[in-house]
Each structure stands twice: as C-alpha cells, then as structure tokens.
Amino acid sequence: MSTFGKFFRVTTYGESHCKSVGCIVDGVPPGMTLTEEDIQPQLTRRRPGQSKLSTPRQEKDRVEIQSGVEFNKTLGTPIAMIVKNEDHRPKDYSEMDLYPRPSHADFTYSEKYGIKASSGGGRASARETIGRVAAGGIAEKFLKQVSNVEIVAFVSQIGEIKMDRTFNDPKFQHLLNTITREKVDSIGYIRCPDVTVASDMVKEIEKYRGQKDSIGGVVTCVVRNLPTGLGEPCFDKLEAMLAHAMLSIPASKGFEIGSGFQGVSIPGSQHNDPFYMDEETGRLRTKTNNSGGTQGGISNGENIYFSVPFKSVATISQEQKTATYDGKDGILAAKGRHDPAVTPRAIPIVEAMTALVLADALLIQKSRDFARSVVN
C-alpha cells in the first residue's frame, strides 16, 4: 500500500514515466501558514543533477499545491501536491525488455504484478520519493512549531570512508548536538560535515565512477527537541516506526538506533543511561544517551539518533553477466551515465520520513494527553 501514517498520513503516487508524481497529505493541522516555498527546498535537495557527483539528468521538480490551502493557510483538509514528470526519456531502458536488471526491482515487480512497467520496477523508481519529501516538508514545519523539533541527517560513510560513529564517544554526541543542515550542505553535495572525510568520500565516489561502478554509504540522522512520550507500545514503538520508515526508502538495507549493533558488546552496567535532574530545565534527563532517545519505544526527551545503510547503486555502466527473463544467459550493459553514489540524495528523504513518523506519533500522543487531563 502507498499510505504511511495513521493521523498525519501521506499517500503517494507515480512512477518515473507517468504524467506526474505526488501525494495527498491528510491530517495536516488547520491554520498553519504554508506555501510551496516551504516544500520546495527539500525537493530541490533531493533532485538529481545537483553536482557532477550525481546524474547529469536535469529535473525541475517544482511542486504545485492543489488543495487544502487558501491564502497560504492550511484548511485542515487533505493537501494534494503534484510534481510533473518532464524528463523521463523512456527509450533509454529498452534492453530491459529482455533482461531483469540485477538487484533492481524489475524481476520482483514482474512476479508481483505480472506486468512490466516501462521503467521496470514501477514504484521502485527513486521518483516515488518525491511525494514523501513533499509531505515531509509539511510535517517538519508542524514539528518545528510544536517544540522547535530539529531533524538533521548527514552522510557518515561512503564505501570504506567513514566518520567515527562510536555511540558512546563524547565527540560523536557533540556532533549530534550541534550539527545543522547549513553545516551539512556547506561542504557541498557530499553532505558529510567533516571536511577531511568529505574530501575522501568524494575521491571514493570518483574512483568508482571511473570504474563505471557504484558505491554505497550510510546516513546518520539526529532529532533534537522532541517531546517525551511519543511512540506507541507495543507494536508501534517509536524506533519500530522509524525502522519501518527507513527500510521503506529505496536501497536502504538496515537501521540502528542509539548503540545499535555496537551496543551488544557493552555490558548493562555501562550501557544503562542513568538519570539526573537537569536544573536548567527542571526535567529528569539521562547522563548518557546510549538508548538513542527512547526507552520502551517511547521518546525520553533526549536526542533520537540512528543510522541507515544504503547499498551500492544497482545501475552501473559496466557489463554484467546475467540472464534474460526467459532464462537465457547474456550480458547486460546499461546505457548512459549513471549516478555512482546516491547516498547524499537520500538525506532529504531520510529527514522527510523521520518527520512523517514523528508528526504522526505526536498527534497520537496529544490525543492521549487530552484524555489524561479530563479523567479521574
């Protein structure tokens, strides 16, 4: 299904070769100032063709709000948003008629639907994410107004080149406390906030481009200023919803929150986050944040942070020995130039999906807060 969320809910549509892509966002609070200028920046960050590191196709990706907004104020009714498909050039993919591209969704879409879309994997196209990013822009604006929630994602690894992500290292936690989108974008399209590492990452990407190959990466994301109490026991724990959201992004292969995979070898006595009273805010806080901002699936007021690995792009220019749909061995060579590393473009998508999860969890909890306040 193409719907995500319960109260703050997005339904997306569109594949790469149809008239338009977009979404309907339901459950947007009424009376919120909103224009296309709130939505466009993240769409522009998501767009291919931003630098020589990415694919040279030029897509305009201008969002048009269709409904739910009058005089720049949301009505509380569904907001439909459309982005026209302009530069699709379906002819480029003709060989696909014979070959399911390895590690693309061509084969599985064919198995699932019994029909081949001209783009092969229909909704597996990266263009599907436009609707998500547009919806995320609204969710982010709402979250910002609630409690100045900040969501910042960055590239923490490309191939073998990585930033230190040791969860219990104060330097890493300091980075999470201070990183901004401006900082992330300041070094360029690579979107890694460490100048030296970023430079090595660019070289890594160029190396694989030279080999007509591709390479993956990891995106790390932090959420600051989130209220406590978000996340629904027991199946819709906040980290469960975030994991769901992240694994729904094309090419993602995992998720870890807080100490994640590293944490399993740290004993409980060190892993536990002890409490202290924060005199400034008068709130109970934790001295460490190995949990990554949730306990029992519920936000505890500390930073939420998590990482998501993205596999190497499946479309490569070099030849691949594979088989046709009919099972005949052969060699597939993708035409045209291809983006050797899409991880930097995943940044606004990760941020958008995070915002969608949080806006939904917040609305659900606020309904409970009301109920709490009236019963006895």
Catalytic residue at 17? yes
Catalytic residue at 236? no
Among 104, 106, 273, 360, the active-site one is 104
| Single residue of 6, 57, 62, 183 touching a second copy by CB under 8 A | 6
Q: Which residue has the tokens 């505890």?
A: 300
Which residues within the stretch 153-212 sit at the binding site for a second copy (CB under 8 A)?
157-160, 208, 211
Q: Is the separation of the CB atoms in 161 and 167 below 8 Å?
A: no
182 versus 371: smaller Cβ distance to a second copy: 371
Helix or strand or coil: residue 262? Answer: helix
Which residues within the stretch 206-225 sit at the binding site for a second copy (CB under 8 A)?
208, 211, 213-218
| Single residue of 37, 277, 333, 336 touching a second copy by CB under 8 A | 277
Q: Quick check: 59 binds a second copy (CB under 8 A)?
A: no
Q: How far is CA 63 from the centre of its chain?
A: 18
Which residues within the stretch 70-129 sit at the binding site for a second copy (CB under 8 A)?
70, 73-80, 82, 99-100, 102-105, 107-109, 111-115, 117-118, 121-124, 128
Shortest Å, Cβ 112 to a second copy = 4
54 versus 294: smaller Cβ distance to a second copy: 294
Select from 11-19, 37-45, 46-54, 176-184 the region that touches a second copy (CB under 8 A): 11-19
Shortest Å, Cβ 187 to a second copy = 20
Shortest Å, Cβ 271 to a second copy = 5
List the structure tokens of 172. Answer: 């890493």
| Single residue of 174, 253, 335, 337 touching a second copy by CB under 8 A | 253
Select from 38-46, 65-73, 176-184, 195-203 the region that touches a second copy (CB under 8 A): 65-73
Catalytic residue at 174? no
Which residues within the stretch 18-57 sit at the binding site for a second copy (CB under 8 A)?
18-22, 24, 26-27, 29-33
Q: Is the separation of the CB atoms in 201 and 129 below 8 Å?
A: no
Give the CB-side neighbour count of residue 263, counting CA atoms within 13 A.
Answer: 18
At how many degrees (to 10) do helices 36-46 and 129-147 cross? 130
Q: First CA to last CA across the chain, in angstroms?
A: 40
Which residues within the stretch 322-341 sit at the binding site for a second copy (CB under 8 A)?
322-323, 325, 327-329
Nearest to residue 136, comparing CAs of 347, 292, 304? 347
The beta-carbon contacts of 72-77 under 8 Å, at least 24 apart in sequence, are 72/33, 72/34, 72/35, 73/30, 73/31, 73/32, 73/33, 73/34, 74/28, 74/29, 74/30, 74/31, 74/32, 74/33, 74/34, 75/30, 76/28, 76/29, 76/30, 76/31
Cβ neighbours, 10 Å, residue 139 = 28
Catalytic residues: 17, 104, 339
